[in-house]
Amino acid sequence: MAAIVAWDIHQSTFTPAKGVLLFCVVAVVAAGISRFTIVILARPLAMLQQGITQVRNGRLEPIQVSSTGDEIEYLGESFNSMIEALVASRKEIRQHQDLLEERIRQRTEELEEAMLRSEAASQAKSEFLANMSHELRTPMAGILGMIDVTLESELNSEQREQLETAQRCAWSLLALLNDILDLSKIESGRMGLEQIPFNIKAVLHDCVKSLQPRAGRSEVELSCEIAADVPDEVFGDPLRVRQIFANLLSNAVKFTERGYIRARLFAPVQNDLEVTLRFEVEDTGIGIPKDKLPLIFDKFTQADGSVSRRYGGTGLGLAITQRLVDLHRGQIRVQSEVGKGSIFSADLTCLLVSPGQQTTAAEEEHQQAVADQRSAANRILVVEDNQVNQKVVTAVLKKRGFEIELANNGEQALTKLENSTAFDLILMDVQMPVLDGLEATRRIRQNPRWRELPILAMTAHAMNGDRERCIDAGMNGYISKPVHPSHLLRVLSEYLPAPATT
């Protein structure tokens, strides 16, 4: 256009009309070229950008591709192929996810069902053990009680020896029952440890003293060494600590026929709050083969499992001991050589007792003297459905001067409370016909007249939680059958009124 205008000016033939015409032609041509460019190049690029934005926003939809026959068309088709692959991959992932969720749902249902079956089995096992404990302890209480009563009568030496032998056998059977119940409670996680102050040295001395006669019969020297760094009192469970000491010592006595047994107690680790006590038992017994050492802490397992083995036992003692040590955040170890003896060591972690919490020996003697001075002329209502147990308790208490009234179940106990003169204490069995001891206690506590009346559970139930259920029902204390007369009298002295002072 510029060339045309320049030529016309040079030839002097340029006119304004011709210039306007040329401008219009140029404008039309430029518009056409612009439109062609938008259609051929810019629009496909815009469509491609829009598709990319959709994919970025999660919308996997194919984009429109212009048939330009160039690289832009090829790029759009490649992009659509990628979108198709992503859609197929997403569909496959969703199918796998749905399948996985279904499998998880099925596995969750199976686990829930298995857990419910396990809980039901555990509950059934606990109920079975509780019932078996009650059924076994009830006749055991009668056997031991009647033996105790008979031993307090006039007997010749042969009769006394025979009864004492029967008594030891009965206590051995009861110990076996206790071991089975303890193992069950530990394995179910239902055994807890008390945290009360007690004299750890006295516990060890008592265990050694109780085993001295057995060791003496085999001419075995049984000695005890307590290091100076061992504190007099610690916080813990004296019953379970005594059980650990007694199990290790009795094992040494059982398997040692000559030589010595040395019990040692020392405190290798101690700070301001707690102490680690190490209890060692060294013996010159038969020893344990090396291949049996990893097995001796398994339940129902012994180093000698043959039919002709010389030493009895169920193989529960060390298994229970190990689990009790674990509850004390400790560890039990053994070194042994056949024919030379063994060394068992157990670490127990206990809290320390501050000086202000310690009970002096004089205070304990004073408390015992006060307990011994309790008046025996008290009226006690014994609620018990087993006639043998009634006879045992009646014989023990009447001999000490107590006045006894009997009731065969909770309903009779309520009737006697309403119609009889006041009682000073109630010994209440738990499992009884008509009305059990727990419900009877709840009804007694509803009456304001009897809210302060001491009620002690005296039951053959010995599973973990039985004591708590008795206390929750309103009872003041708990005595497990079979009851030793001295233990029964000691517990009674804690709840009976003190003697009048003059």
How far apart CA 92 and CA 96 sit, in angstroms, is 6
- Helix, strand and coil content of the chain, in percent to the nearest 5, comes to 55, 15, 30
The values of phi and psi at residue 337, to 5°, are -140, 130
Asked if 157 contacts 164 with a C-beta cutoff of 8 angstroms, the reply is no
Q: Which residues contact 269 (CB under 8 A, 6 or more apart)?
A: 275, 276
Evaluate the omega torsion of the peptide bond into residue 197 and state whether it is cis, within 30 degrees of 0.
Answer: no
How far apart CA 262 and CA 284 sit, in angstroms, is 9
Asked if 253 contacts 214 with a C-beta cutoff of 8 angstroms, the reply is yes
3 state SS of 33: helix
How far apart CA 192 and CA 71 sit, in angstroms, is 79
How far apart CA 96 and CA 419 sit, in angstroms, is 77
How far apart CA 303 and CA 317 sit, in angstroms, is 13
What pTM was computed for the model?
A: 0.52
Q: pLDDT digit of tens for each residue in the chain (502 aa)?
A: 566 666 666 666 667 776 677 778 777 777 777 766 655 566 667 777 777 777 777 777 777 666 666 666 777 778 788 888 888 888 888 899 999 999 999 999 999 998 888 878 777 776 676 667 667 777 777 788 888 888 888 888 888 888 888 887 777 677 767 766 666 666 666 666 777 888 899 889 888 888 888 888 878 899 999 999 899 888 888 878 888 898 899 889 988 988 999 999 999 888 878 899 999 999 999 888 888 887 787 755 555 544 334 555 555 778 888 888 888 889 999 999 888 899 999 999 988 876 555 544 445 444 444 444 444 458 899 999 888 888 888 888 888 889 999 999 999 999 999 887 788 999 999 888 889 999 999 999 999 888 889 999 987 665 556 778 888 899 998 887 777 787 788 888 888 875 544 4
What sign has the CA pseudo-torsion 469, 470, 472, 477? Answer: negative
Closest C-alpha to 459, from 491, 432, 440, 493? 432
Q: What is the pLDDT of residue 371?
A: 46
How far apart CA 208 and CA 217 sit, in angstroms, is 15
Closest C-alpha to 261, from 242, 288, 287, 284? 284
Q: What is the pLDDT of residue 374?
A: 47
How far apart CA 65 and CA 354 sit, in angstroms, is 88
Calculated CA dihedral for residues 155, 157, 159, 163, nearest 10 degrees? 100
Q: What is the pLDDT of residue 283?
A: 93
